[in-house]
Amino acid sequence: MSHVMNTYARLPVAFSHGEGSWLVDTDGKRYLDALSGIAVSTLGHNHPDLVATIATQAARVLHTSNLYRIPLQEELSDRLAAVSGMDEVFFCNSGCEANEAAIKLARFYGHQRGVDNPAIIVMEKAFHGRTLATLSATGNRKAQAGFEPLVSGFVRVPYNDLEAIRGIAGHNQNVVAVMLEMVQGEGGIHIADLEFQRQLRALCDEKGWLLICDEVQCGVGRTGTWFGYQQSGVLPDVATLAKGLGSGVPIGACLASGKAAGLFGPGNHGSTFGGNPLACAAALTTLECIERDGLRDNAVKVGEQIRSGLAEALAGVAGVVEIRGRGLMIGIELDRPCGELVARGLEAGLLINVTAEKVVRLLPALVFSEADARELVARLAPLIRTFLGA
Ligand SMILES: *Cc1c(COP(=O)(O)O)cnc(C)c1O
């Protein structure tokens, strides 16, 4: 027994190193990594450009402080603004921190408009993190249980339900923002309809609300566009990033545009580590490789290959409810809880995840190749068939 706090039901495996979409455990067994550390290792493992960037930056300077100018942070903010269409960026270290910044920004915006008790509309099945405010915004009672009192100021509606949001608009004068994932990750790979996204943008404009997109999981190229909201062509007022942004080096970001930009001044928010030179260098290389190597197109192509390959291999199998997703964010919903598939995958040399009890979730690196995709289908389809007794 170690002294690590027991917050994860850990699988009995540890990895010593990796290469591309493959990981090797401490006994030398190889695993195809179809999860990439939950959408984190964008460039796969041991990517030569990222390794070089980190080594070079480590030999220059790792950390200075946000008390000083950080040129790499300025460069990354320019790059993020260019690919996102947003105006300015606050840097932090994780997804929940990015969302904390977004929630504070929305409240600050509300107070400036004379709303003393600002409220944010959030979605059922949403996941926004595990700090107190983001846990309160999360739509999962199990995750919240035992941590009450939750932070107030959140109003929940069903996903993809514009009428429910309109209904709240009719009687709640405290609403200042709507926060959602354009593709829900932890909730089971649910996609916001493109028309819902556009109508929601219009409603937010009409009401003067901020549209906050949590892109922590679906952002940074994973769905085939830089950000999930770009599939419908809407531009949010606030967008949050983390997971895949540094390809494994922790970094988060809260982006603001239009009426959400220019709100915070010195003293309103901060982070000791946020946007340090090492993290920004890793993120810049991640963005550069996505662009240079056509990884957004790769996500579309290989994602389609995985979905159609699985659809073919699982055709007619009773118990497969739906195979869905965007790019390399894929869910296979079964008709029953299927958590044990994770351990069976491990035996078969395959790293997958199950979320929302019944949804097999695949989040491979954006460098996942066609050969990797064939291997994934060849390993996963029989596991699901056997599990379902087909
Ligand atoms: C993972 C995740 C978070 C939380 O990120 P952490 O880095 O674990 O704090 C927030 N929102 C979404 C959509 C996520 O997938």
Report the residue among 91, 97, 130, 243 best suited for mutation to probe ligand 1: largest number of ligand atoms under 8 A from its CB: 243
What is the structure's pLDDT at 111? 98
What is the structure's pLDDT at 18? 98
Nearest-Å Rg of the Cα atoms of the chain is 21
How far does residue 159's CA lie from ligand 1's centre (Å)?
Answer: 18
- Token match 């942004």: residue? 245
What is the structure's pLDDT at 1? 73
What is the rounded distance in angstroms from the CA atom of residue 294 to the CA atom of residue 38? 21
- CA-closest candidate to residue 366, choices 232, 247, 228, 251: 247
How far does residue 42's CA lie from ligand 1's centre (Å)?
Answer: 15
- Map residue 218 onto helix, strand or coil: coil
pLDDT tens digits along 224-242: 999 999 999 999 999 999 9
How far does residue 386's CA lie from ligand 1's centre (Å)?
Answer: 32
pLDDT tens digits along 273-329: 999 999 999 999 999 999 999 999 999 999 999 999 999 999 999 999 999 999 999
What is the structure's pLDDT at 390? 82
How far does residue 227's CA lie from ligand 1's centre (Å)?
Answer: 15
How far does residue 150's CA lie from ligand 1's centre (Å)?
Answer: 18
Instruction: Using the atom order of ligand 1, give the atom closest to the CA of residue 38.
Output: 1
Check if 217 has its Cβ closer than 6 Å to any atom of ligand 1.
yes
Residue partners of 113: CB distance under 8 A and separation at least 6: 176, 208
Check if 91 has its Cβ closer than 6 Å to any atom of ligand 1.
no
Round the average pLDDT of the chain to a whole number and report it: 98
What is the structure's pLDDT at 39? 98
Check if 242 has its Cβ closer than 6 Å to any atom of ligand 1.
yes
Domains of the chain, with CATH numbers? 15-33+294-387 (3.90.1150.10), 51-292 (3.40.640.10)
Indicate the annotated binding residues for N(2)-acetyl-L-ornithine: 130, 271
Give pLDDT < 70 ranges for the chain: none
Check if 122 has its Cβ closer than 6 Å to any atom of ligand 1.
no
Residue partners of 192: CB distance under 8 A and separation at least 6: 159, 160, 180, 181, 182, 183, 200, 228, 232
Tokens at 315, concatenated = 């055709």
Check if 128 has its Cβ closer than 6 Å to any atom of ligand 1.
yes
Tokens at 210, concatenated = 């901020």
Helix 71-84 vs helix 277-292: angle between axes, to the nearest 10 degrees? 40
Check if 185 has its Cβ closer than 6 Å to any atom of ligand 1.
yes
